[in-house]
Structure 1
Amino acid sequence: MRLTPRFLQQACRITFYTRSTCSLCTTAKGVLESLQTKSPFYLIEKDVDMAHHKKWKDIYDFDVPVIHVEKSSAAEDGNPSADQKLMHRFTEDQVSSLMEKVLASSR
């Protein structure tokens, strides 16, 4: 699916903090990929082990996987509040509910 500018203004952006050697991250990515086929969103993946993501490694080194959910028109490197993120294990329903909450709060 091609994401249009109008879609991106009305959709959520999910930033996925991960690492390649993390089995929980692999499971979480599967949850996000499955959900994306049902409720499209813009996904940004950041491997905390990459040198240019050191800021996020310092924050989430022992907590990956983590997702930040925000309205896609928000600033990319903003720091969402605690009620806009999920950590470790999460289901499609939990992510979907958080997406709905974020979109509802921005109306």
Structure 2
Amino acid sequence: MRISTEGNQQEIKWALTSQLGDSEIAYHIAKISHSYQRMQEKTTTLNTTLRGLGLKINKSKTKILRLKTNSNRPVTVEDEESEDVDSFTYLENTIKRQGGIEDGV
């Protein structure tokens, strides 16, 4: 998966001393971006890279969590809109739209 983001180091300041960046662990992939355009580009590049490897994005499991944005433009995978959510669980932690994280049990 590194191919899909190589050379595009972009992180988001999460707290005063920490930053979030793209994460690719096993079959979980989290893409982080400052703009709609960049998120759509990352999603398209990832999809193209995976297709070249004989893999595909599971569109029904692809979710979008928007933080501090008024944009509601859909992020798409092969012209199918991804679902917007208020929170989701990633690596046993719940990430919320308000920016908080609840530790998993």
When normalised by structure 2's length, the TM-score is: 0.32
Q: Which has the higher contact order (CA 8 A, sep 6+)?
A: 1
Query: Which structure features the higher share of strand residues?
Result: 2
When normalised by structure 1's length, the TM-score is: 0.32
